[in-house]
Structure 1
Amino acid sequence: MIVIDNLMQVANQIETERGVTKEVLFSAIEQAIVSACRRKLPEEALVEAVLNSDSGEVTIYRIFNIVKEIEDDSFQMTPADAKKRGRSTKEGEDYKEVMEIPDLGRIAAQTAKQVIIQRIREAEKESVYDEFKVKENRVITGTVQRIENQNYLVNLGRTEAVLPVREQIPGERFSVKEKIKLFVVEVEKGTRGNYIKISRTHPGLLRCLFELEIPEIEDKIIEIMSVAREPGKRAKVAVKTNNPAIGAVGTCVGQMGGRIQSIIKELGNEKIDVLEWDENPKVFVANALKPAQVTQVVVTNADEREAVVVVPSDQLSLAIGKQGINVRLSVKLTGWKLDIMKEEEYNEKAMDISSENNMSILDKIQKSKDLENSGFVEGNSENSLAAALAKASSGNDDSEATDAPIGGLGELAAKMAKASKQQAIEAVELKVSDLAKQLSMKTAELIEEAKSFGVEISSNRAKLDPDQVAKIKENIS
């Protein structure tokens, strides 16, 4: 029999400090003693250890299977042998006898120690995972422990996590031992331990800070309907009230801007626009583009969530924003693809937009097929001429002509067709610098943005095909 002194005191201390329950620790001790004893017994021997948690006594049992004929005496016994040892048994039962503790030695003791340490580590990892898994999509507070290559090692209490550069708000800097608020994106189990992904750029951080700072949101009087963010620059938050007597925007901003200012300070002076959510998409889109004044919003495709926003000429730059930030945030916030137009431009294209808007899906498909089958770019008369010349040169014309003129005509048709094809290619291809101007961005910034969603641009002189242009506009606009 083995006696462990101060067992309950040690178990309580481990449970408090490392979050490992007493039951797990007692099981680890029993398993460790069994592992140590096996080193002094045959490989097939069956051993069991029973720990009395109150007294700290460990009793070790040797187990035998009762069989009619013995094949391996290390774990088998006949009923007659069991009877000689003072117990009547039947075939198929197990016979337990208290085992004298052998002289285990240093190696066996080291084995037992390693088993206990390993079990405690595994239990601790499981405990940490369970603790932080329920904190996913929430804000926690951590302490900066170390700075390595612009990455921050943050102490979260029972574990640590790394805040990489890509999850940091541009321009912010922290010092060692400084407390910071972090958003828990996800918690995963890994081969080398738990992985906790933390961020300060996630839109969820802004949402959680609103919930912490504004009690009406936690009480469900006000709801956050949508959040869009460009970390360190600007953010938009759409809110709605469930109580007509309480204004959602005014409540979130607070008296003299007190509530919103504390959130702005936490996010490194990131500008935050709080606006009213509306179930009518036209009103919501107009609100999202504030502070720009919107003349009207025309829904061009409700299924694809596409709309044209008409603004006065002097409001166009304000609606787009610096480097297109206002319209990008509005698109993210509303989930609608927006095309910003000046009033003059809209008046010129109003009929086309209206007819396109009223066109059924079947009509749109038919129109697309007709354009495909026409074989030329709409509005290019040279293509039509090239096609006509090619037809004439093929010899299918009913008119009589000599071989020489037809041959010359065919050569001219080929040159015209080649030229028109090249012109068509140039018409649909777009230079990177031209696209950057359209999106009000710098060329280098556009190349970097495009790389993040899979469009590789070799240089600022490269040309983009229509698919690349569409993908870039979809993700940035």
Structure 2
Amino acid sequence: MSSELLDALTVLEREKGISKDVIIEAIEAALISAYKRNFNQAQNVRIDLNRETGTMKVFARKDVVDEVFDPRLELSVEEARQINPNYLSGDVVEIEVTPKDFGRIAAQTAKQVVTQRVREAERGVIYSEFIDREEDIMTGIVQRIDSKFIYVSLGKIEALLPVGEQMPNERYKPHDRIKVFLTKVEKTTKGPQIFVSRTHPGLLKRLFEIEVPEIFDGTVEIKSVAREAGDRSKISVHSDNAEVDPVGSCVGPKGQRVQAIVNELKGEKIDIVRWSNDPFEFVANALSPSKVVDVIVEEEDQGTTVIVPDYQLSLAIGKKGQNARLAAKLTGWKIDIKSETDAKKLGIFPRGAEQNIDEADLELEADSSELEE
């Protein structure tokens, strides 16, 4: 050991972000292992590494006892008092046992152990960095592809993009640059393992935060997201500022903001709707782009019956029920969609229609009374 090595550790700390103390502790542990292995010693030892000069000493640690059973680990009270008359039974005596050629042997033997500890420390630094990025968005570069994963480089580490988290309308090639959502960061024996997604609703939310300044600064809030990746998504937004249009803010001038997100998601359609704490209004908005005649809310069942014009029924339901399904996910309400004709057959009338029916009945009763007179 030398002062030059300590200087090298300082450089390593600065460049790799690994604490010098961590490396020195690894070296001390390696030197203890090297001493026991090369000198056939089983006693407890301590390495004293001078952090100013780089010099080192080996000390054997022995317990002071009344009766010695293992001289490698124990020292009698009489022998201890020859070193220092103040020692008592139960104390620990340290005796320097540094071999003359220990520096050379220790350096050779400890190299592999130190390298391993440094590698573990680097993994710890990477884990600490990425665990704070969980549920965040990052840009990565596709490295390689196999039957289970796409391996995406995030700089210091490769992340895993499972088949189930890949968008069905995308084809990936090595060196493609893509944005991914970090779903999980795990600590394993081989180092940190990071899983990412292109289908997670969180990716859509983070993209809007990047593209829409009003969302980033908190003026506009994303209330909920429903997504069928690669095909269609719905997002509800709200602002406490009456002068801010939350939907218009997300769409952007000439649709530029939302179009940038659509392009990133390879053409995925995005419906942006206004959030409301009134289920009547919120469910009606969520079924956009279809028009809604009325929403009948059943609070107990957390359900709604939505009446739409006959010609809007297929639009409200959507292809394979997609529009209704996404609206239900977005609002958290069950949605049963009926056309005006079907609703009337079941005796369900929109609120305005019920009023018209009552007025018509009154007129008929009045006409009947006049005829009888």
Using the size of structure 1 for normalisation, the TM-score is 0.69
Structure 2 CA distance for aligned equivalents of residues 156 and 351 of structure 1 = 56
1:236 aligns with 2:238: no
> Contact (CA 8 Å) 1:220, 1:242: kept in 2 or not?
no
Aligned partner of 1:310 among 307, 311, 319: 307
Aligned partner of 1:258 among 256, 260, 270: 256
Choose 95-104 or 212-221, whichever is displaced more: 95-104
Letter aligned with residue 136 of structure 1: E
| SS of the residue 1:25 aligns to | helix
Structure 1 CA distance for aligned equivalents of residues 242 and 349 of structure 2 = 41
Indicate the residue corresponding to 2:285 in structure 1: 287
Change (3 A) 1:133 1:304: farther
CA shift digits 1:144-182 (9 cap, x unpaired)? 222334842111122111212221112223332332211
Indicate the residue corresponding to 2:362 in structure 1: none
Aligned partner of 1:120 among 118, 121, 125: 118
Indicate the residue corresponding to 1:38 in structure 2: 36
CA shift digits 1:212-263 (9 cap, x unpaired)? 1111112111100000111111111100012101110011111111111111
Change (3 A) 1:123 1:303: farther
Aligned partner of 2:183 among 185, 204, 207: 185
Q: State how 1:149-228 maps to structure 2 within 5 Å.
A: 149=147, 151-228=149-226
1:6 aligns with 2:4: yes
Change (3 A) 1:119 1:326: same
Choose 146-155 or 103-112, whichever is displaced more: 103-112
Indicate the residue corresponding to 2:358 in structure 1: none
Change (3 A) 1:191 1:29: closer
Structure 2 CA distance for aligned equivalents of residues 276 and 213 of structure 1 = 18
Letter aligned with residue 337 of structure 2: I
Aligned partner of 2:65 among 64, 67, 75: 67
CA shift digits 1:246-281 (9 cap, x unpaired)? 110011111111111111111111111111001101
| SS of the residue 2:168 aligns to | coil
Structure 1's unaligned 5+ residue stretches are 355-477
> Contact (CA 8 Å) 1:37, 1:102: kept in 2 or not?
no
Indicate the residue corresponding to 1:92 in structure 2: 90
Shift of 1:128: 1.8
Indicate the residue corresponding to 1:337 in structure 2: 334
Indicate the residue corresponding to 1:452 in structure 2: none
Shift of 1:17: 4.7
Structure 2 CA distance for aligned equivalents of residues 71 and 102 of structure 1 = 29
Structure 2 CA distance for aligned equivalents of residues 111 and 13 of structure 1 = 23
- RMSD over aligned Cα atoms: 2.3
Shift of 1:106: 9.2
Indicate the residue corresponding to 2:364 in structure 1: none
Q: State how 1:324-403 maps to structure 2 within 5 Å.
A: 324-350=321-347
> Contact (CA 8 Å) 1:66, 1:92: kept in 2 or not?
yes
Shift of 1:24: 0.8
Structure 1 CA distance for aligned equivalents of residues 7 and 260 of structure 2 = 46
Q: How many residues align?
A: 350
> Contact (CA 8 Å) 2:48, 2:56: kept in 1 or not?
yes
CA shift digits 1:357-406 (9 cap, x unpaired)? xxxxxxxxxxxxxxxxxxxxxxxxxxxxxxxxxxxxxxxxxxxxxxxxxx
Structure 2 CA distance for aligned equivalents of residues 58 and 165 of structure 1 = 54
> Contact (CA 8 Å) 1:201, 1:231: kept in 2 or not?
yes
Choose 268-277 or 173-182, whichever is displaced more: 173-182
Indicate the residue corresponding to 1:398 in structure 2: none
Structure 1 CA distance for aligned equivalents of residues 320 and 103 of structure 2 = 74
Percent identity over paired residues: 43
Structure 2 CA distance for aligned equivalents of residues 188 and 262 of structure 1 = 32
Shift of 1:65: 1.1
Structure 1 CA distance for aligned equivalents of residues 90 and 350 of structure 2 = 86
Choose 343-352 or 153-162, whichever is displaced more: 343-352
Structure 2 CA distance for aligned equivalents of residues 259 and 351 of structure 1 = 41
> Contact (CA 8 Å) 2:307, 2:350: kept in 1 or not?
no
Structure 2's unaligned 5+ residue stretches are 352-373
Structure 2 CA distance for aligned equivalents of residues 353 and 59 of structure 1 = 91
Shift of 1:326: 0.8
Aligned partner of 1:22 among 16, 20, 23: 20
| SS of the residue 2:45 aligns to | strand
Structure 2 CA distance for aligned equivalents of residues 353 and 66 of structure 1 = 94
CA shift digits 1:334-375 (9 cap, x unpaired)? 111111101111112136999xxxxxxxxxxxxxxxxxxxxx
Indicate the residue corresponding to 2:296 in structure 1: 298
Shift of 1:72: 0.9
